Structure 1
């Protein structure tokens, strides 16, 4: 089984599934990185995707929500679920098996959509605010979205949480080497540039910066354009 065969089958499964999902969904991305994304895509990306080696027979279907107000370094599962986390149904899927389409459909309709619908943008921003209000030692990672949501919602200045995040990522970068250190430094720079944009033109300039960063990150992952299945 070639990786091209798997990719073609995965896109076929997504194309068939698309017609059964409530609302408007479009195919985005390429190859095994293709996802179904709920439209319109704004500041969070509701997605259904596949993870696994191109050369191994089985992998996993996942569904979740990707906040787009933070640096997009990887697909996060904080607001998602993978099929092997669901008690009912298969824990993996073989894309070339006769059962693959049905197993994908079962997972998405029984568990994936519920997870996606439980994380609308309003909840993401509210949880970020509540997380930031905690003692710093008790915070999780929700507050990392807070500067962006404050700008997008026009709720408050992003400067203080962005400043703390820049310091956090710089501190982490100092204790890391190689690619990890560079990625952490880039995340720190993201928040520093957001602060700079806010000081230069408040919400208008900061929103323009976030939009540019979001669009660039989506383009890098080839999910910036909705495709015809």
Structure 2
């Protein structure tokens, strides 16, 4: 299998409050290059857990994940920021890690995130929405080969959401993405293909509309017509 991100016999499960959730069951899959792929599934299916494994912040129980080129952290996940550092200091730290000019990174993030004076305050003082704005701006400042997007464009007011989507489109002109969102309209606008995560398996569709149809059938407690 070839691709920027390839799963080879990946297994992952965890137990929460006595219930075992299977995220991946011997998954073998190559994510498509040069396009945005929607990742769909019920709440609790393990979409965010799969993104964290792809990013390298969580390990599979077995199998391996191959990454060719640079892969972002899950945009929308703020766990990578140091809470005692300011937004500015976190941005500068990310710039040094990824070899980006610190001044250019800082200017871009400050302008795009629109945090005002909070940009120079510790991240621990931020609301969840402010952290998501910071995470999105920092990630868009880095030219990744594959972006991992987790609900980030639902943050903020309408104007910020539109700016976020426009920026994401600009980045996707030269990169791949795996996108998790509850907005079917957004997935239809920016994604080419889609996959549904269900009981540790991935059902891939070259057309995102087909993946959405599968997902919506599951949400209604039924199988899609071609699987019934």
TM-score by length of 1: 0.31
**Greater relative contact order (CA < 8 Å, ≥ 6 in sequence):** 2
Q: Greater strand share, 1 or 2?
A: 2
Q: Greater helix share, 1 or 2?
A: 1
